[in-house]
Amino acid sequence: MFVGLDIGELWSDRASYVDDWYAVEEIDSQTFIIGEPKSSQYNSSFLLEGEDYALLMDAGSSERPSGSKSMAEIAGTLTDKPILLIISHMHFDHIGDLSEFNGAILVAQPFIVQRAAESDRTFALDPIWSEVQGLEPSGKIITASSAETAFHGTRDIRVAAFIQPGGILNLGDRPVTVITTVGHTYDSLSVIDHARNYAFSGDFMYQHFGGVVAFLPGAELKVYIESIDAFLSKTGPAYRFFGSHGQQEYDYQWAIGMHTEMVKIRDGLVEPRIAGNFMSPGVPLQLHQKGPLLIYMTPFFDSAFIFSRYFVWMAAMAYALFSIVLFVLLGMLPRKKVPTN
Ligand SMILES: [Zn+2]
């Protein structure tokens, strides 16, 4: 439940349900929002069509009911061009129907490129991937860790191709730029269509009244702010901005506001309070609020530590210890003798 937008409610009167699960809004005749208003985090994916190819940003929330159409099928009803999937990041709620596609485009972050290079698992790459300008075909399968999927287990990511940060992908008379926007995650990317003045920012930036989850606190907040600086320098007030959760479209002022508040957090000018968030049930987070803008961050520890195997191992040990203590205490309770017949 979010202020102003209930689960299942349409985000705009220009949007309409195409079946029981998906709703679509045409931004222009070649650009679509594919929303999942009934998903718990009000997810959206975006379809950008060129003369030769269509680019689909994200593969669905993972929450569609069984038997419903996949994100691949829905996107296929909106374009007759071959669909190239790009994922904004590897969190579970953006890769739901990944297996329905012949892999996905990832931005060439050195640590992901290296993992792909070291992987000995491959898949049969569709020839289309070597035809598209601006891409480096891969064909490798990497494993997204549980931390990378936002604690929804490990997932195979079939890497169809990499695009260099700042690289231009030509969809056929429609070049789009892909930039890294590290902050929400290390692998986050945004897609910018400079000709039409559109920017698609994934989870790096959105106007979702459930709040922005910035997983990089402390020193790494600096990196998030640098990403916002870069994102703002490549866009401007004339752009239309679209995020992947909640009310998709937000304006330049919202982006500026997020920057301003992040800088205040970095400079210690505000005191975040401890709060919970639906993204990480049971885990206390730090929250800084400015009007409708909520910025959640991991508390106490550096996020690289929180997402490390060491931390998961410690949590597992603490849980095991707690279980043993509970078991022993229960065993010490006086018991009634149960009659045997
Ligand atoms: Zn998300």
**Cα–ligand 1 centroid distance for 307 (angstroms):** 17
Residue-level pLDDT at 266: 86
Q: How far is CA 258 from CA 1, 225, 307, in A?
A: 22, 9, 24
The tally of domains found in the chain comes to: 2
Residue-level pLDDT at 1: 37
161 plus 310 within the same structural domain = no
Q: Which of 236, 261, 286 is the last residue of a domain?
A: 261
Residue-level pLDDT at 275: 81
Phi, psi of 174, rounded to the nearest 5 degrees: -150, 85
Residue-level pLDDT at 334: 74
| Residue 87: CATH number of its domain | 3.60.15.10
Residue-level pLDDT at 278: 65
Strands ordered across the beta sheet of 54-57: 15-17, 23-28, 31-36, 43-49, 54-57, 83-86, 104-107, 155-163, 136-144
**Cα–ligand 1 centroid distance for 212 (angstroms):** 10
Question: Is position 285 within any domain?
Answer: no
177 plus 317 within the same structural domain = no
pLDDT in tens, the chain (341 residues): 344 688 999 999 999 999 999 999 999 999 999 999 999 989 999 999 999 999 999 999 999 999 999 999 999 999 999 999 999 999 999 999 999 999 999 999 999 999 999 999 999 999 999 999 999 999 999 999 888 888 888 999 999 999 999 999 999 999 999 999 998 888 999 999 999 999 999 999 998 866 787 766 666 788 899 999 999 999 999 999 999 999 999 999 999 999 999 899 888 898 888 887 766 667 778 888 888 888 888 765 554 555 555 666 777 777 788 888 888 888 887 766 656 55
**Cα–ligand 1 centroid distance for 331 (angstroms):** 44
**Cα–ligand 1 centroid distance for 204 (angstroms):** 9
**Cα–ligand 1 centroid distance for 83 (angstroms):** 21
The distance in angstroms from the start CA to the end CA of the chain is 54
**Cα–ligand 1 centroid distance for 37 (angstroms):** 13
- Across the chain, the runs of DSSP E, i.e. the strands, are 15-17, 23-28, 31-36, 43-49, 54-57, 83-86, 104-107, 136-144, 155-163, 167-170, 175-180, 189-193, 198-200, 212-213, 240-242, 249-250, 273-275, 285-290, 293-297
- pTM to 2 decimal places: 0.85
Residue-level pLDDT at 64: 97
CB atoms within 10 A of CB 45: 27
Can you give the residue range of the structural domain that contains 172?
15-261
Strands ordered across the beta sheet of 273-275: 212-213, 293-297, 285-290, 273-275
Residue-level pLDDT at 151: 82
Question: Is position 236 within any domain?
Answer: yes
Report d(CA 238, CA 184) in Å as an integer: 25
119 plus 216 within the same structural domain = yes
85 plus 221 within the same structural domain = yes
Question: Is position 248 within any domain?
Answer: yes
Residue-level pLDDT at 306: 53
Phi, psi of 128, rounded to the nearest 5 degrees: -55, -35
**Cα–ligand 1 centroid distance for 122 (angstroms):** 27
**Cα–ligand 1 centroid distance for 94 (angstroms):** 6
**Cα–ligand 1 centroid distance for 240 (angstroms):** 20
217 plus 318 within the same structural domain = no
